[in-house]
A and B are shown apart, each in its own frame.
Chain A
Amino acid sequence: MRLEYFQLIDRILDISIEERTIRTEATVPTESTIFEGHFPGFPLMPGALLIETMAQTSGWLVIALLRFERMPFLMGATDVKFRRFVKPGEKLAADASLVHEGSGYAVTSARIKADGLVVCDAEIKFRTVAFPNAEFRAHMEAAARLLEFPHAVALP
């Protein structure tokens, strides 16, 4: 994770177009100014950032399914459950599956595991729109390469 860049996942492990699923991984940094306030003497990964981790995992799945033609923007999250604390240095495994692809929106089910146990899960909704400009799309394509986005699978 590079919290200062709002990059919440480190790597895309795999994407299945047929199954409409994705798996990602991320390691919570051991140090961050965020932990100075959340909380002093008891550092915890904020729940809002865990939601963002699930959203980014889901977002890459939606981008793959839409063949990089449209960008998913977070619209809402429901049924969010934080099942235990997540501490600095923990290795996280996130996964998501597409629940529904609607007209101009998509819904996923996502979760994060640590040590094999679910630490949080949610249903996440996105509005999907055409990339507003070529620069933005190029930025997302560059970000995808950094995350080892499997272009061969997602963009045959």
Chain B
Amino acid sequence: MSTTFDTVASIIAETCDIPRDTIKPESHAINDLGIDSLDFLDIAFAIDKAFGIKLPIERWTQEVNDGKATTEQYFVLSNLSGRIDDLVSAKGA
């Protein structure tokens, strides 16, 4: 059974044409993988579909812009995977 990170990494590899083996849990989607906002919305769409959730991208972006959070909290893939797990758990609660 694949982990959340594996699914996310596969989505990123396919959506952005990035070699799968270069995508690590510690990779930062923007700083390390060079994913731009347009591609990230495609990734969000694929994640939303795969997990049956709605990633709160706008809220996260606002928190970063307001200095209430860092991009690492949301866009380092291990952290992103954790957020996804939280959203999936919340949905099932």
Contact surface of A with B, Cβ cutoff 8 Å:
75-76, 100-105, 107, 125, 127
Contact surface of B with A, Cβ cutoff 8 Å:
38, 41-42, 44-45, 48-49, 54-59, 61
Question: Which of B38, B54, B56 lies in contact with A76, CB distance below 8 A?
Answer: B38
Question: Which of B38, B55, B59 lies in contact with A102, CB distance below 8 A?
Answer: B55
A-B contact count, CB below 8 Å? 35
Give 26 A-B contacts (CB < 8 Å), ordered by A residue. A75-B38, A100-B48, A100-B49, A102-B41, A102-B44, A102-B45, A102-B48, A102-B55, A102-B57, A103-B44, A103-B54, A103-B55, A103-B57, A103-B58, A103-B59, A104-B41, A104-B57, A104-B58, A104-B61, A105-B41, A105-B44, A105-B45, A105-B57, A125-B42, A125-B45, A127-B41
Q: Which residues on the A side are within 8 Å of B38 (C-beta)?
A: 75-76
Contact in complex: A103, B56 (CB < 8 Å)? yes
- Bound-complex Cα distance A76 to B43 (A): 13
